[in-house]
Amino acid sequence: MSDATFTFRVDQDLKAEFANAARSHDRTGAQLLRDFMRSYVAQQQQAQRHEDWLADKVELAHASAEAGKLVPAADVEAHFAARRAATRAKLAPGN
């Protein structure tokens, strides 16, 4: 992989503080900037994977609803009411 130069302007005081902070951790500013760039790219890739996953789930849900595979709201409420009651029973004093 070939190296490329990345040039940008920054306030002189910020540059000096950044260089001092990097030096205090035995790193150069360039090393830290590369680390920050890699981290940012990884975060963006992870966010995109999540967005893709969520879009797939929404699409599946819409398709399921369009196919009539729905659970009545009363059934959902009853199911979770029973789960809440079971949890409260487990948390009640004496259990």
Q: Please report, in tens digits, the pLDDT of each residue of the chain (95 residues total).
A: 788 999 999 999 999 999 999 999 999 999 999 999 999 999 999 999 999 999 999 999 999 999 999 999 999 999 999 999 999 999 999 87
Between the CA atoms of 53, 54, 60 and 64, what dihedral angle is there, to the nearest 10 degrees?
150
Please report the pLDDT score of residue 84 as a whole number.
Answer: 98
Please state the pTM of the whole predicted model: 0.67
Please report the pLDDT score of residue 5 as a whole number.
Answer: 92
Place of tokens 């929404």: 58
Q: Which amino acid is at 74?
A: A
**DSSP alpha helix (H) spans, the chain:** 12-23, 29-66, 73-91
Please report the pLDDT score of residue 1 as a whole number.
Answer: 72
Please report the pLDDT score of residue 15 as a whole number.
Answer: 96
Please report the pLDDT score of residue 94 as a whole number.
Answer: 84
Q: Which amino acid is at 91?
A: L
Residue 69: how many other CB atoms lie within 10 Å = 9
